[in-house]
Amino acid sequence: MLSKRLRNYLGRLDIRLAVYYSFALLFLAIAISWFLYYRLEHNLTKQVDGILLDEFHELTLEIDEEGGVREGVQGFAKDVVWRKYYPILFQVLSAQNQVVTRPVEFEVLFTFGIRNQEYFTVIARNDVHGIKGHFRVLERRIADKASNKEYVVHLATHLKRTDKILENYIENIVSAIPVIFAGSILLGLFIAKKPRDILKEIIGVTNKITSENLSERLALPEARDEIRQLSITINSMLDRIEGAFEQIRQFTGDASHELRTPLAAIKGEIEVALTHGESSREYRETLFNCLERVEDIIRMVNDLILISRFDEKEIDWQPTEIDLAAQAAEIIEFFRPLAEGKRIRLEMQAAESVILYADRSNILRLLNNLMENAIKFTPEGGRVRLRTQCSREEVVLRVEDNGPGVPPAERENIFHRFYQINAARSGRGRGTGLGLHICQRIADAHGGKIWIEDNPGGGAVFVVTLPKDKTPV
């Protein structure tokens, strides 16, 4: 049980982030400490090298004053050999690496000759007067004017103070790094507490969201950071989900209502026919009415299937070059018998050739829906006009009628699914409210637009613009 709690605790995001950042800080602290150690050692060594060089200059001055190397070395030895800080030890060698003069202390500590290096570090082999460890050595050549000979001088001083400073530095770093590491973890946990609380709130709110409760939203933090952007993104996603669910509910309710009405009518007519003994002619009329209503249901179901294919982007588009004027002429002839039955005059104004790249079957469906809608709402003795126009980049299709028109307040919603201007209207003339929505989806897929204008002579004008060379998607 304890190990599980420990695993859960260590698995928390804030804990892992705090540990990761602490290790990163630890590695950075070690790297900086090593760099500072290197610079400190370099500067201290450079300081010691400067001391040795100053002593060498003093030695050369002593030699010049005494008039010879041996005499000058003896006077120099009395001044420097056992200084409290940085005592100087030396030896003088001939150019052939023979000892000219070497104090006994130097001989006890070192056994090296000419190295041809200006500065180098050696380790004393013995302990003399508490002096041991590392020594820094300066090697310089000097000319004796009296004997006209060249000598090699080695000046050495111990690095005890330097080593002590470096040892103290290492001890301090070793002591400080665990404190820095522990402090960084605690500070990281404190800093990560607020984001963790925000994430817990996000988890709590999202856990409350169900299909019945989509109104929950995340509170936006004051800081304009990634957490705020995440909260905004989640809220936007919830808005879209809520809108989608609302559309599904509305779609389900509308579809149920639209199916229930013809089914109830079919049921009623069949019940009447079964209850009352009717003639064979009346039975045939009842069956004919039921067949018409079934065909209406089938058409609505087919429209719903088409809309769902639009939603899933599963339409099998087959674009090709088509002449919109020729297609419009076909539609006019197709609807002429229906229009003549209502004594509606059909007119067409088309350019000689209106060529565009589009899916022929869906363009015909768009024309069919617009013409059927215009004839349906145009009163007897009215007029429906179909116009096609062409410009360099697009074609324009206009379907005009002199029916009751569309109020401006309804024009934005009329292309929604199942939307009808007079929802209370019923009867055989009532549509499903899907035709104009399908027209909009077809226009959108071809990169075009559809909207409604007022007809100056009364009625409505449905305008469709389609680009000439846009591939439908």
CA distance 452 to 464: 9
Residue 413 lies in a domain: yes
Verify that 120 and 87 share a domain, yes or no: yes
Which residues does residue 210 pair with via DSSP β-bridges, in sequence order?
Answer: 213
Verify that 447 and 322 share a domain, yes or no: yes
User: Is-contact 344 332, C-beta < 8 A?
Assistant: no
Verify that 451 and 391 share a domain, yes or no: yes
Domain boundary pick from 289, 308, 327: 308
| CATH code of the domain covering residue 419 | 3.30.565.10
DSSP 169-220: HHHHHHHHHHHHHHHHHHHHHHHHHHHHHHHHHHHHHHHH-BTTB----PPP
DSSP 109-176: H--------SEEEEE-SS-BTTB-SEEEEEEEEEEETTTTEEEEEEEEEE-HHHHHHHHHHHHHHHHH
Q: Pick 442 or 76 by higher pLDDT.
A: 442
Residue with tokens 């705020």: 228
User: Is-contact 442 423, C-beta < 8 A?
Assistant: no
Domain boundary pick from 241, 275, 308: 308
Percent pLDDT > 90 in the chain is: 11
Confidence of residue 423 (pLDDT cuts 50, 70, 90): very low
390 pLDDT above the threshold of 60: yes
Verify that 72 and 147 share a domain, yes or no: yes
Residue 105 lies in a domain: yes
Confidence of residue 268 (pLDDT cuts 50, 70, 90): confident
Verify that 295 and 386 share a domain, yes or no: no
For the packed helices 435-445 and 280-311, what is the interaxial angle rounded to 10 degrees?
30
pLDDT at 38: 93
Average pLDDT over residues 172-178: 89
Tokens of 331: 């539609």
Verify that 58 and 116 share a domain, yes or no: yes
pLDDT at 425: 35
Residue 85 lies in a domain: yes
Whether pTM exceeds 0.75: no
Nearest-10 Cα torsion for 102, 104, 107, 109: -130
pLDDT digits 0-9 by tens, 302-340: 777 777 777 777 777 888 888 888 888 888 888 888 888
Domain boundary pick from 273, 308, 343: 308
pLDDT at 280: 76
**Of 94-108, 210-224, 416-430, which one has max mean pLDDT?**
94-108
Residue 11 lies in a domain: no
Report which residue type is found at 22: S
Residue with tokens 């209207």: 425
Residue 472 lies in a domain: no
CA distance 295 to 298: 5
pLDDT at 16: 78
First vs last C-alpha separation in the chain: 57
Mention every residue, 6+ apart, whose C-beta is less than 8 A from residue 412. none
pLDDT at 139: 92
300 pLDDT above the threshold of 80: no
pLDDT at 83: 63
Residue 144 lies in a domain: yes
| CATH code of the domain covering residue 38 | 3.30.450.20
Q: Is 467 exposed, middle or buried (0-12, 13-18, 19+ CB in 10 A)?
A: middle
pLDDT at 10: 64
pLDDT at 427: 40
Verify that 119 and 92 share a domain, yes or no: yes
Average pLDDT over residues 259-265: 76
Q: Is 319 left (phi over 0), alpha (psi -120 to 50) or beta?
A: beta
Verify that 353 and 380 share a domain, yes or no: yes
Mention every residue, 6+ apart, whose C-beta is less than 8 A from residue 137. 52, 112, 119, 120, 121, 122, 154, 155, 156
CA distance 103 to 108: 9
CA within 13 Å, CB half, 303 = 25
Lowest mean pLDDT among 271-285, 302-316, 419-433: 419-433
Residue 360 lies in a domain: yes
Helix (H) or strand (E) holding 466: strand 460-467
Confidence of residue 232 (pLDDT cuts 50, 70, 90): confident
Nearest partner of 452 among 344, 348, 392, 373, judged by Cα:
373
| CATH code of the domain covering residue 253 | 1.10.287.130
Verify that 278 and 363 share a domain, yes or no: no
pLDDT digits 0-9 by tens, 184-220: 888 877 877 777 777 777 788 778 777 777 777 777 7
CA distance 21 to 183: 12
Confidence of residue 262 (pLDDT cuts 50, 70, 90): confident
Verify that 79 and 153 share a domain, yes or no: yes
Quickly count: other Cβ atoms within 10 Å of residue 390's Cβ.
Answer: 18
pLDDT digits 0-9 by tens, 8-43: 666 677 777 778 888 888 888 899 999 999 999 999
DSSP 331-373: HHHHHHHHHHHTTPEEEEEE-S--EEEEEHHHHHHHHHHHHHH
Verify that 41 and 114 share a domain, yes or no: yes
CA distance 125 to 168: 24
Query: Beta strand 345-350 with 383-390: parallel, antiparallel or unpaired?
Result: parallel
pLDDT at 252: 75
pLDDT at 426: 37
Q: Print the domain residue range for 138.
A: 22-168
Verify that 294 and 382 share a domain, yes or no: no
Residue 194 lies in a domain: no
Q: How many domains does the chain have?
A: 3
